[in-house]
């Protein structure tokens, strides 16, 4: 645990991309009291041959490292291109401060001159975590297990080990439901697991009175109001669960990797960028090439190399290793080892359409109230810092098709108070609006409250 008394080692664990004085106030509070602990993990030393090599310590990689290293006879290497999460990562309301920082891969789309022209340079930012825990350390913390229809499609396609029942069993094994109201309801409680490592809860949302009205309005439009969206298979309106507890983020770094990091058979190397998977003449992966602080290193695997580097980096590493569409690889002077045309294809992503609505509630936040939220968080883990700053936990899942049994659309709600001091930082970080659009929203926000419905 970091120690803070007249010295400030915690400050280096904060990531601040904005000079706003109010943010600086919070920084000073936290540095003075150091009420949030953060243990920095040291890399293990030793061998360079392992049973398993896991590339990427993100949402999946942390889980894999924990589960594989449970077998004491297996030596496991976990490689992560980023480093430790800063304390900012623990605080749900400060998540956008990590965007476009060293903890974000900062991927951007190419401006096509037609779509997304309200965004800076017409380029959509794809925020992806570059740190232990990956995107689970910087995301909006919303916990959605999906509709059974998705898993049934996997099963019908020939993946018999991915049946609906098996997927649900795995979710329950991973979960630890901690919300007392949900636990007291037998219908909800039996839907979730209780003894897994992954915390599942609900935010103590400061806008609950407001979001309840929004959910009621959805009901008046004909959408079913649910006690729990997971129970209803994500069809209808209700309160979303979150990967947080007592106002603190619970990433897979916290819930899985921290449990395993002291095991002697698990080696964790941070700031290690994998550049190539080594493949022999029999098309078997036997190791990886890595850049560590500018040095090239090689690690070998006797059983498996597992790519869990995310939807962008995993196919990129495959192509750098000579596995992918031959014509594309040769265009970039990469020797094609395996011509696999679908590598890098079929990327799925949310199409997001913000709709900005202005109203008379919930009202302005004074400087005094803002500072009280900060102290409430530091002392009691409540207030707006204890919840996502990107979206509230009100959610609607629906289909644009009649008589559908599964959704094809969803709506979230972002609430911004009138004259909110960090409105520019919030909207810039969340949506990436260009200055002209941001100015038009800010001008109206000074007169009315803003409610951005995200679909």
- State the span(s) of the chain assigned CATH 3.30.410: 206-242+350-455
CA angle 167, 104, 197 (to 5 degrees): 35
Q: What is the pLDDT of residue 419?
A: 77
DSSP symbols for 192-209: S-SSSSEEEB----TTHH
Answer for the pair 11, 24: CB distance below 8 angstroms, yes or no: no
Contacts of 173 (CB under 8 A, 6+ apart): 193, 196
In tens digits, the chain (455 residues) has pLDDT values of 333 322 333 444 445 444 454 555 555 545 544 444 444 444 444 569 999 999 999 999 999 999 999 999 999 999 999 999 999 999 999 998 999 999 999 999 999 999 999 999 999 999 999 999 999 999 999 999 999 999 999 999 999 999 999 999 999 999 999 999 999 999 999 999 999 999 999 998 888 888 999 999 999 999 999 999 999 999 999 999 999 999 999 999 999 999 999 999 999 999 999 999 999 999 999 999 999 988 999 999 999 999 999 999 999 999 999 999 999 999 999 999 999 999 999 988 878 888 888 888 887 877 788 888 889 899 989 888 999 988 899 999 999 999 898 999 999 998 888 877 677 777 887 888 999 998 888 888 777 766 665 55
Contact 128, 154 (CB under 8 A): no
Would you state the pLDDT for residue 448?
72
| Per-residue DSSP letter, 254 | I
CATH class given for the domain over 9-89+253-308 = alpha beta
Q: Which two tokens stand for residue 46?
A: 């030793």
Buried b (16+ CB within 10 A) or exposed e, 385-397: bbbbbbbbbbbbb
Contact 103, 130 (CB under 8 A): yes
Q: Where in the chain is the domain with CATH 3.50.50.60?
A: 9-89+253-308
Domain span(s) for CATH 1.10.1220.110 in the chain: 142-202
Question: Checking DSSP bridges between strand 236-239 and strand 394-398, what pairing results, if any?
Answer: antiparallel
Residue for token pair 């209780």: 194
pLDDT for res 57: 98
Q: How far apart are alpha carbons 423 and 57 in whole angstroms?
A: 33
Q: Which of 128, 118, 145, 150 is nearest to 200 (CA)?
A: 145
Distance CA 233, CA 405 (A): 9
Residues ≥6 apart with Cβ < 8 Å to 389: 92, 93, 94, 95, 96, 426, 430
Give the architecture (CATH level 2) of 142-202: Orthogonal Bundle (1.10)
What is 206-242+350-455's CATH number, 3.90.1070, 3.30.1380, 1.10.150, 3.30.410? 3.30.410
pTM (2 d.p.): 0.88
What are the Cα distances from residue 307, in Å, to 74, 182, 204, 297, 321? Answer: 18, 36, 36, 18, 12
252 membership: H or E segment, kind and range = helix 252-252
């Amino acid at each position: 645990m970091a120690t803070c008394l007249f010295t400030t080692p915690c400050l280096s664990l904060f990531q601040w991309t904005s000079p706003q004085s109010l943010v600086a106030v919070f920084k000073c509070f936290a540095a003075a009291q150091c009420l949030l602990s953060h243990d920095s993990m040291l890399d293990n030393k030793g061998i360079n041959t392992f049973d398993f090599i896991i590339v990427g310590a993100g949402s999946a990689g942390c889980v894999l490292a924990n589960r594989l290293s449970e077998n004491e006879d297996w030596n496991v290497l976990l490689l992560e291109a980023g480093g430790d999460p800063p304390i900012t990562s623990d605080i749900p309301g400060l998540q956008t401060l990590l965007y476009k920082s060293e903890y974000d891969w900062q991927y951007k789309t190419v401006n096509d001159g037609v779509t997304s022209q309200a965004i800076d340079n017409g380029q959509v930012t794809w925020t992806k975590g570059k740190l232990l825990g990956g995107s689970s350390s910087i995301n909006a913390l919303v916990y959605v297990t999906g509709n059974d229809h998705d898993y049934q499609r996997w099963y019908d396609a020939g993946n018999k080990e991915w049946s609906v029942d098996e997927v649900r069993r795995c979710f329950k094994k991973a979960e630890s439901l901690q919300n007392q109201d949900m636990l007291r309801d037998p219908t909800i409680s039996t839907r979730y697991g209780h003894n897994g490592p992954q915390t599942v809860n609900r935010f103590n949302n400061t806008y609950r009175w407001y979001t309840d009205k929004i959910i009621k309005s959805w009901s008046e439009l004909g959408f079913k109001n649910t006690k729990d969206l997971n129970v209803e298979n994500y069809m209808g309106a209700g309160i979303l669960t979150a990967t947080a507890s007592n106002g603190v983020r619970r990433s897979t770094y916290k819930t899985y990797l921290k449990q395993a990091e002291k095991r002697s058979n698990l080696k964790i190397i941070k700031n290690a960028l994998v550049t190539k998977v080594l493949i022999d003449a029999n098309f078997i992966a036997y190791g990886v090439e890595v850049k560590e602080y500018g040095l090239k290193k090689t690690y070998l695997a006797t059983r498996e190399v597992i790519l869990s580097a995310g939807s962008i980096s995993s196919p990129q590493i495959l192509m750098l290793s000579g596995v992918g569409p031959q014509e594309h690889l040769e265009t970039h002077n990469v020797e094609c080892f395996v011509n696999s045309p679908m590598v890098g294809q079929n990327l799925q992503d949310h199409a997001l359409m913000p709709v900005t609505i202005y109203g008379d509630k919930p009202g302005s936040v004074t400087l005094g109230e803002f500072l009280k939220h900060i102290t409430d968080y530091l002392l009691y883990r409540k207030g707006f810092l204890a919840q996502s700053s990107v979206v509230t936990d009100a959610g609607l899942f629906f289909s644009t098709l009649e008589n559908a049994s599964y959704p094809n659309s969803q709506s979230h709600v972002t609430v911004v108070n009138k004259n909110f001091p960090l409105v520019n930082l919030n909207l810039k970080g969340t949506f990436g609006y260009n200055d002209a659009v941001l100015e038009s929203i800010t001008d109206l926000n000074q007169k009315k409250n803003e409610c951005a419905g995200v679909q």
